[in-house]
Amino acid sequence: MKARGLSAIALVTGVLATATAHSQQSPTPARPDLNAIPEKMPFNIPYGPSISMERAQSVVQAAITEARKRGWEMNVAVVDPNGDLKTFSRMDGAQLASIKISQHKARVAARFRRPTRAFEDAVQKSGFNYILTLDDVVASRGGIPLVEDGRIIGAIGCSGGAGSQDETVCTVAAKTINK
């Protein structure tokens, strides 16, 4: 009985020592100040006229060319400034669930006037978990606004791979507009 009690104490002591060592190795990141008031409005890019169908299709083609070069099957959507679908392409073999996801990423990037990576970083790095309560948000990379002459003319969304793959393909395609 005495040996069992000593074993239990040793086990609890070991667990506590391990937990203490782990907490000392990875300090808790500082929580962001949600009451901070920025001097300027963030992500305040004005909306412009809608991207034409021809330009939207050329952006999609740039994304597909990059995805093919890398051997990645993607779904690619381009939307107008309101987030309404302008054109879409699904590569052969692309994940079916990513059809709607690519469109969602493009819509969010256009309506919120920022790359969807900003939402991912807000949740993952800054602890702004309230972001997930906003209507129509997607906190995943792969949505980028298309900006011409300082105005948003649409956005591109890519999905089908890891977030980093989606973002890579989107970035290459967005650079055909974003200079």
The three-state (H, E, C) secondary structure of the chain, written as one string: CHHHHHHHHHHHHHHHHHHHHHHHHCCCCCCCCCCCCCCCCCCCCCECCCCCHHHHHHHHHHHHHHHHHHCCCCEEEEECCCCCEEEEEECCCCCCCHHHHHHHHHHHHHHCCCCCHHHHHHHHCCCCHHHHHCCCCCCCCCEEEEEECCEEEEEEEEECCCHHHHHHHHHHHHCCCCC
Distance in angstroms (rounded) separating the CA atoms of residues 176 and 61:
10
Q: Please indicate, yes or no, if residue 124 is contained in any of the structural domains.
A: yes
Q: Please indicate, yes or no, if residue 154 is contained in any of the structural domains.
A: yes
Q: Please indicate, yes or no, if residue 127 is contained in any of the structural domains.
A: yes
* pTM for the model: 0.82
The whole-number pLDDT of residue 2 equals: 53
Mean pLDDT for each consecutive 10-residue tract of the chain (179 residues)?
Answer: 48 43 55 85 96 98 98 98 98 98 98 98 93 95 98 98 98 97
> In which domain, by residue range, is 90 found?
53-174
Q: Please indicate, yes or no, if residue 81 is contained in any of the structural domains.
A: yes
The whole-number pLDDT of residue 33 equals: 79
CATH number where 126 lies = 3.30.450.150
User: How many structural domains is the chain composed of?
Assistant: 1
Q: Please indicate, yes or no, if residue 170 is contained in any of the structural domains.
A: yes
The whole-number pLDDT of residue 46 equals: 98
Q: Please indicate, yes or no, if residue 95 is contained in any of the structural domains.
A: yes
The whole-number pLDDT of residue 130 equals: 93
Q: Please indicate, yes or no, if residue 15 is contained in any of the structural domains.
A: no
